[in-house]
Structure 1
Amino acid sequence: MTDDEPTSTGDMESPVVYDLDPECTLDEVTEDGLYLATVNGVVEYGVFVDLSEFVSGLVHESKLDGEYEIGDQLVVDLEDVRENGDVSFRSVDIENYELESVAHEYDITPVDKLEDAVGSTVYLAGQVVQIKQTGGPTLFHVRDESGIVPCAIFESAGVRAYPEISVEDYVRVSGTPEHREGAIQIEADSLTALDDEEATEIEARLDAAVEERAAPADVDPLIEWEAFEKLRPDIESVAKLLRRTVLEGRPIRIRHHADGDGMCASIPVELALERFIEGVHEDPEAKRHLFKRLPSKAPFYEMEDATRDLNFALEDRERHGQKLPLLLMLDNGSTEEDTPAYETLRHYDIPIVVLDHHHPDPEAVEPLLTEHVNPYLYDEDYRITTGMMCVELARMIDPEMTDELRHVPAVAGISDRSAADAMDDYLELASEVGYDPDELEDVGEALDYAAHWLRYDSGRHLVNDALNVGCEDEERHHELVDFLAEKSRNEIDDQLEAALPHVEHERLDNGAHLYRVDVENDTHRFTYPAPGKTTGAIHDHKVEETGDPVITIGYGPDFSVLRSDGVRLDIPRMVTELDEEIVGGGVSGGGHLVVGSIKFVKGRREEVLDALVEKMAEAEIDEALSSTKSSV
């Protein structure tokens, strides 16, 4: 036999022929090995063969032991590798052999090391968390222990690559990291679904890494407050869940009450989560696609809001390949009125987390919630505002935010008129960063005023500037607050001037003053302040005027808004009793113990209000109580 002839091993006893893994490279081919090859092309001077996706070459006709067609298999050995990279093989005439698979040894590069490998071929192993089809390539967002990176695979314009791959599959990607719009993206050559054994191994590795990275930051509380410490473990649990949600590539949607406390709660958490998302995702647009904050006008999660949220989530899953989101309810969400909306989301297994300080109905809501944090569950009350809780939550997610948030708990407390002993400490903390009580009250007024006109818009940049969290211009913050607070007070004064002559007064049997006003007919409508704020302004005026225990009712055709100072009301209990006593009244509502709202059937208004006043007349006087201000 000469060098120009095909190799023959007919006299050998069951030699080993290697079947290369599709990912194997030429580095794993040796000169003395025999390999199983597949014909991928036939030409006049021989055949082209593939040993793997990355190992191909020519078997010249002079080194070929027969005739072959595309798809035929033959045994070959390596003949030559030329300087230009061309590879040639010789066919081997062999009848009996033992086939042995050769697995590729992958040198896996983690996401956080891709910057150092730009322009080189890398392998990435992880889980698909999003699949987005663009007008060009398909983008597979893959997470590993250190982050999430988009992997672009081009099939043909607008055509889905690897349609057999789904979100949550475990895969291996080979490709080249490149810079795209200032961030890392892998230009992928291949994407392979991992078998059960490999998938299980990676799943365990990712779970362990997520468990470690999801742990909340160990931060000391801004102030020492024994009552708050009862809630801290629950808040830490929520922080860990939110960090885990980001690490797993799931979107987060915040719904919050559209008032000062609701914004003091949601804005710090929004910024903390966005900054954490930026640290996890290589895609600079990730925070825009994976996070959304929206206000809720009602003091509960309305079906209108829930169905909109669900519809947008389903559309995002269809159009952008996203997982369905986690819903985070702030300063809202603890009452039975929330349950129809929650039950709607439950059909899609959307996790729901609630941080709230309104009087809760735990038996109604907790079977539908993943986490529920509320001071009432620890024998505390609304004096611990949601903004106070969420400042600590945001710091557990991103402790570097601490200096930006020192004034926020005081704003939240003033906005919701917290009578907590800890308010003195929060006011002192705010004073250290340049805010006196009047300035803090102005910030709260500015937030309420902005929330009214923003309606269903988050007003991201405007409210951030008003609260001075994530604001880049401190001077603009102060000028904006002065302007908005002045506008708010002027328009409240105009409303009071129109409404006060129509306020009805009576003295209840328990000695409290009762003031009633028809906010539908005796106030300016469709402007600022809204009925809830108007009722609160009238109430504040009468409290200051009398110095006595005061109850104020602002009512419309099918609702009433309640405020109380110095009277121990239990509005959630009163709502339950009214619903049982007035058959067909359709009574519902809730809120705090001494501030809330009630809805009812229009035709039963007088009966509901009369029964409500009777209950108020039996309430205990307690001048230590003061009302909470909240836009209901």
Structure 2
Amino acid sequence: MSPSHAGENSGTVSTTTVYDLAPDCTAEVVEVGAHYHATVNGVVDYGVFVDLADDVSGLVHESELEGRYGVGDSLVVRLVEVRDNGDLGFTEATPDDYRTEVLEQDRSATVVSLDEEVGSRVQLEGEILQIRQTGGPTIFQVRDATGVVPCAGFEEAGVRAYPEFDVGDLVRVVGEVERRNGSLQVEVDSMDPLDDEAAREELDAALDAAAEPYDPDPLVDWPALDQMREDLAAVAKTLRRAILDGRPIRMRHHADGDGMCASVPLQRALENYIGEVNEDPDAPRHLLRRLPSKAPFYEMEDVTRDLNFSLEDQERHGQKLPLLLMLDNGSTEEDTPAYRTLAEYDIPIVVLDHHHPDPEAVEPLVEQHVNPYLYGEDYRITTGMMCVELARMIDPDLTQSVRHVPAVAGLCDRSRAEAMDDYVALAAEAGYDEDALDDVGEALDYAAFWLRYNDGSELVDDVLGIGDDRERHEELVEFLATRAERDRDRQLAVTLPHTDHERLDNGAHLYRIDVENYAHRFTYPAPGKTTGAIHDHQVREHAGDPVITIGYGPDFAVLRSDGVRLDIPEMVSELVEEHPGAGVSGGGHLVVGSIKFVSGKREEVLDGLISKMEDAAIDEDLRSTLLRE
């Protein structure tokens, strides 16, 4: 960052240049042979000490002096020596003809260049993203177009430094780059406002360019998913820009296999990007939270908890309010009360889901909504498939570790997509046959049940197989999948004798089980998985025939169907109109879903539901993938 002394004693000019250093210059700017204006700051027997700037001084030995000087006197000196210890030696100079040039040190630096400036004073221009008061300094998180760095401002211990500044202000920071506990930090000497609209526009444009996602080739050639890539790229840019803006991301996902296949690769990609643009090693932990949701919609309990934590973080740590990212959840009218709560705080919402959507209810409340139904497709494009591609747009280096994940997602949600064979083949290249993929999905569901509201990040990484230890992954999956199979078989043993059967007018086999009274409670599998296990058993028993299974409790019913063209969201809408006062709500996929109602209307709602099932058409295309086994 040293300025050039071009023309000094070069013979190209006849007038000597004498430099007048700006007060904040350092010794980095001086060069041997150059002339400088100096001020005497001390007189000793062997010469005088002179200042060139606040932090630049040296000795003019008595043998190099032509006159006598006192403290405060000015003279022109020429630098003759820079000793090994950094001391400067000058001689007095009396040029006949000279011109004065003010010399300001160019300390301009960017966050990405700070690693090369440790120990140097730099100047950064950027925006304050966060202000946190510690027991010592005030920590300002300042970002420019290349990244974010903590800047420590010092007053008395625990007293706010530079109280005139707030989050969102543009500032010019001058300070020394230090390394603290392995990470970079700027210790602030001065902080000044940067009231320049052009500078803000320039920074915004640079950040917008930096937020542009990558465009890796899709994992498989699949036109149905390719038509969604443009909108997935737009989501990737939104997420990258949120990170550049210092906005935390709260990731909510359905706590099942597909939900984890969607959220875990995306979590890894976002954490990598946060670490890339932030000098604070704790930034990924502070700026991203992955939170499982048990319900198939965003419950008021969850949104209240999320909002409370976010407001506390804003108050205690100076963080911005977060962006909410909904995965494998969030597309239905049931989500809207929670969304309206967040709207009171202007919290942006992004949704990626493959459940049957209610776009008219949801889209006025969200910034982006990606769902295969909105493109003429259906649930066979799982959220895990979409999010693996999204994660690769944020960090394409993940590709090798997530190649098998879309196949796991598809098998978890029984996708019958034409691309499943390609995804399974891709997983085989990564060392997973179809049995291994099934085991991973089973282990994920089992882990999710016992984790409940905990994200279990490290454990889930190992189960899904995106960690570093393949041997541990395989042993863990084998253990969890075996336990899941044991617990499922125990549940089947007690529920199958109490499962009622009838043949509907359209030829479908209907099975009904009261999971409240005839299944083990508070253990794996939960009512939904129990109903699914009974359904899978009956599909195998009646290979080739259409099968519908209903697992019900006092105020809910879980539905599974194979070979019958149901439209569960439409059936729910009709039941709402036909049974006022029954409190009917619910939804899901076309042939997999759940319904809630008040317990006193259970029989009435179930009878109405079965009546609609009898009118449904039989469709061979909807037969289960179980029949391939």
Q: Deviations over 1:557-580 (max 9, x none)?
A: 111100000110101111111111
Does the alignment pair 1:351 with 2:351?
no
Q: Deviations over 1:359-398 (max 9, x none)?
A: 0000000011111000000110000000000110011000
**Alignment partners' CA distance in 1, 2:175 and 2:430:** 50
Matching residue's letter, 1:247: L
Q: Which residue of 2 aligns with 1:508?
A: 504
**Alignment partners' CA distance in 2, 1:77 and 1:128:** 43
The answer to whether the Cα contact below 8 Å between 1:415 and 1:441 also exists between their aligned partners in 2 is yes
The answer to whether the Cα contact below 8 Å between 1:152 and 1:186 also exists between their aligned partners in 2 is yes
The answer to whether the Cα contact below 8 Å between 1:137 and 1:153 also exists between their aligned partners in 2 is yes
Q: Deviations over 1:387-428 (max 9, x none)?
A: 000110011000011000110010000000100010000011
**Alignment partners' CA distance in 2, 1:275 and 1:24:** 38
Q: Aligned match of 2:335 in 338, 348, 353?
A: 338
SS at match of 1:327: strand
Q: Deviations over 1:274-324 (max 9, x none)?
A: 001111000001001011101000000111111111111111111111111
Q: Aligned match of 1:247 in 219, 244, 247?
A: 244
Matching residue's letter, 1:265: A
**Alignment partners' CA distance in 2, 1:322 and 1:55:** 40
Matching residue's letter, 1:126: G
1:542–1:270 CA distance, 2 compared to 1 (3 A) = same
Equivalent residues in 2 for 1:242-391 (5 A)? 242-391=239-388
Q: Which residue of 1 aligns with 2:98?
A: none
The answer to whether the Cα contact below 8 Å between 1:110 and 1:146 also exists between their aligned partners in 2 is yes
1:108–1:483 CA distance, 2 compared to 1 (3 A) = same
1:245–1:609 CA distance, 2 compared to 1 (3 A) = same
The answer to whether the Cα contact below 8 Å between 2:37 and 2:75 also exists between their aligned partners in 1 is no
**1:82 Cα deviation from its structure 2 partner:** 13
Does the alignment pair 1:468 with 2:465?
yes
Segment of structure 1 superposing worse, 485-494 or 151-160:
151-160
**Alignment partners' CA distance in 2, 1:22 and 1:211:** 37
**Alignment partners' CA distance in 1, 2:547 and 2:557:** 16
The answer to whether the Cα contact below 8 Å between 1:173 and 1:190 also exists between their aligned partners in 2 is yes
The answer to whether the Cα contact below 8 Å between 2:427 and 2:433 also exists between their aligned partners in 1 is yes
**Alignment partners' CA distance in 2, 1:326 and 1:477:** 32
SS at match of 2:620: coil
TM-score by length of 2: 0.85
Matching residue's letter, 1:157: A
Q: Which residue of 1 aligns with 2:216?
A: 219
Matching residue's letter, 1:336: E
Matching residue's letter, 2:416: A
**Alignment partners' CA distance in 2, 1:167 and 1:81:** 46
Does the alignment pair 1:541 with 2:537?
yes
**Alignment partners' CA distance in 2, 1:187 and 1:558:** 61
The answer to whether the Cα contact below 8 Å between 2:212 and 2:237 also exists between their aligned partners in 1 is yes
The answer to whether the Cα contact below 8 Å between 1:126 and 1:142 also exists between their aligned partners in 2 is yes
Q: Deviations over 1:216-268 (max 9, x none)?
A: 11200000001111111110111111111111111111100000000000000
Q: Which residue of 1 aligns with 2:482?
A: 486
**Alignment partners' CA distance in 2, 1:466 and 1:107:** 49
**1:623 Cα deviation from its structure 2 partner:** 2.1
Does the alignment pair 1:477 with 2:473?
yes
SS at match of 2:131: strand
Q: Which residue of 2 aligns with 1:518?
A: 514
**1:201 Cα deviation from its structure 2 partner:** 2.7
Matching residue's letter, 1:488: A
**1:116 Cα deviation from its structure 2 partner:** 1.1
**1:472 Cα deviation from its structure 2 partner:** 1.7
**Alignment partners' CA distance in 1, 2:23 and 2:504:** 86
**1:486 Cα deviation from its structure 2 partner:** 0.4
Q: Which residue of 2 aligns with 1:228?
A: 225
**1:519 Cα deviation from its structure 2 partner:** 0.6
The answer to whether the Cα contact below 8 Å between 1:355 and 1:386 also exists between their aligned partners in 2 is yes
Q: Which residue of 2 aligns with 1:434?
A: 431
Q: Which residue of 2 aligns with 1:41?
A: none
**1:205 Cα deviation from its structure 2 partner:** 2.2
The answer to whether the Cα contact below 8 Å between 1:416 and 1:628 also exists between their aligned partners in 2 is no
Q: Which residue of 2 aligns with 1:131?
A: 131
**1:103 Cα deviation from its structure 2 partner:** 12
Q: Aligned match of 2:389 in 386, 389, 392?
A: 392
**1:202 Cα deviation from its structure 2 partner:** 2.4
SS at match of 2:511: strand
The answer to whether the Cα contact below 8 Å between 2:22 and 2:105 also exists between their aligned partners in 1 is no
Does the alignment pair 1:561 with 2:563?
no
1:297–1:103 CA distance, 2 compared to 1 (3 A) = farther
**Alignment partners' CA distance in 2, 1:584 and 1:104:** 78
Structure 2: unaligned runs, 5 residues or longer: 1-20, 39-52, 58-68, 80-86, 89-101
**Alignment partners' CA distance in 1, 2:26 and 2:304:** 52
Does the alignment pair 1:424 with 2:421?
yes
Matching residue's letter, 1:180: R
**Alignment partners' CA distance in 2, 1:314 and 1:583:** 38
**Alignment partners' CA distance in 1, 2:468 and 2:441:** 19
Matching residue's letter, 1:181: N
**1:78 Cα deviation from its structure 2 partner:** 5.6
**Alignment partners' CA distance in 2, 1:587 and 1:386:** 26
**1:53 Cα deviation from its structure 2 partner:** 9.4
**Alignment partners' CA distance in 2, 1:628 and 1:171:** 60
Q: Which residue of 2 aligns with 1:453?
A: 450
The answer to whether the Cα contact below 8 Å between 1:552 and 1:564 also exists between their aligned partners in 2 is yes
**Alignment partners' CA distance in 1, 2:237 and 2:492:** 46
**1:63 Cα deviation from its structure 2 partner:** 10
Q: Aligned match of 1:209 in 206, 210, 213?
A: 206
The answer to whether the Cα contact below 8 Å between 2:108 and 2:124 also exists between their aligned partners in 1 is yes
**Alignment partners' CA distance in 1, 2:465 and 2:200:** 41
SS at match of 1:624: helix
The answer to whether the Cα contact below 8 Å between 1:595 and 1:627 also exists between their aligned partners in 2 is no
**Alignment partners' CA distance in 1, 2:465 and 2:542:** 36
The answer to whether the Cα contact below 8 Å between 1:31 and 1:78 also exists between their aligned partners in 2 is no
Q: Which residue of 2 aligns with 1:528?
A: 524
The answer to whether the Cα contact below 8 Å between 1:261 and 1:412 also exists between their aligned partners in 2 is yes
The answer to whether the Cα contact below 8 Å between 1:32 and 1:77 also exists between their aligned partners in 2 is no
**Alignment partners' CA distance in 2, 1:139 and 1:334:** 39
**1:31 Cα deviation from its structure 2 partner:** 8.6
**Alignment partners' CA distance in 2, 1:519 and 1:114:** 61
Matching residue's letter, 2:141: H
Matching residue's letter, 2:347: I
The answer to whether the Cα contact below 8 Å between 2:36 and 2:77 also exists between their aligned partners in 1 is no
**1:25 Cα deviation from its structure 2 partner:** 8.5
Matching residue's letter, 1:313: S
Matching residue's letter, 1:480: L
**Alignment partners' CA distance in 2, 1:411 and 1:604:** 38
**Alignment partners' CA distance in 2, 1:53 and 1:561:** 76
1:367–1:55 CA distance, 2 compared to 1 (3 A) = farther
Does the alignment pair 1:551 with 2:552?
no
Q: Deviations over 1:181-226 (max 9, x none)?
A: 111101111211222x2xx232122222212221111200000001
Matching residue's letter, 2:144: D
Q: Which residue of 1 aligns with 2:619?
A: 622
**Alignment partners' CA distance in 1, 2:175 and 2:337:** 48
Equivalent residues in 2 for 1:129-168 (5 A)? 129-168=129-168
**Alignment partners' CA distance in 2, 1:235 and 1:414:** 22
**Alignment partners' CA distance in 2, 1:521 and 1:53:** 83
1:264–1:220 CA distance, 2 compared to 1 (3 A) = same
